[in-house]
Amino acid sequence: MESSSLLLFFLAAITLVGAAMVFSSYIPPTSTNAVKFEPYECGIETIGDTWLQYTVGYYLFAILFLIFDVETIFLFPWAVVMRSAGMTGFIEILIFFAILGLGLFYGWKKHALRWE
């Protein structure tokens, strides 16, 4: 009886994941032709290897973008309670921005924003 909740939890997890995997292989319409195996179904045929190395710069940009992403995530809950949080909340969110800004500024100074 006691272990039933835990057992139910694991059973539910296994069933849901299993069901998703089984259904996704049976339900969708299947049509196979040569074009399906192309990297781009519509467009120009690729020449050579499709596994290209691309510059680490993309990764840096993604990381720097993450700064703004995090900023927005925290901005929303603050915006909801802005009136009740008052001046203290405002100053706290400014401190938070300052720390994130320092992170961006650091990346800038390290030439992470320069595309080479």
Partner 1 sequence: MSALIFIAIFGIIVLYLGFANNKAILAPAAIGGLLITMALSIKDWGVGSKYFHDMIVVDNFSIAFNVSMLIITILIFLFGVNYYKRMEHHVAEQYALMIFALTGAFLMTSYSNLIMLFLGIEILSIPLYILAGGKKSSYRSNEASFKYFLLGSFSTAFFLFGIALVYGASSTFYLPEINTYIAQFNGHLPPMLMVGLLFILIGVSFKVAVAPFHFWSPDVYEGAPTLVTAFMATVVKTAGFAAFYRLLGMGLLPLPAALEKTLWVMTGLSLLVGNLAALKQSNFKRLLAYSAIVHTGFMLLAMLSQHDSAGSVLLYYTFVYSLATIPLFIIFIHMKRSAKGLEDLVIFRGLYKQKPWVAVFMTILLMSLAGLPPTSGFMAKYQVFTLAISQGYIAITIFAIVMAIIGVYYYFYVLREAFTDSDEPNPILIPFLNAALIVVCGIAVVLLGLFTFTIPI
| Interaction site with partner 1 (CB under 8 A) | 2-3, 5-6, 9, 99, 102, 106, 109
**Range list of H helices, 1-116:** 4-26, 57-80, 82-109
Name the minimum Å distance from CB 39 to partner 1: 28
Amino acid at 47: I
Q: Are 108 and 102 in contact (CB under 8 A)?
A: no
Place of tokens 């319409």: 29
Select 3 or 53, whichever has its Cβ closest to partner 1. Answer: 3
Cα separation, 22 vs 113, whole angstroms: 45
Select 3 or 33, whichever has its Cβ closest to partner 1. Answer: 3
Name the minimum Å distance from CB 30 to partner 1: 34
Select 58 or 105, whichever has its Cβ closest to partner 1. Answer: 105
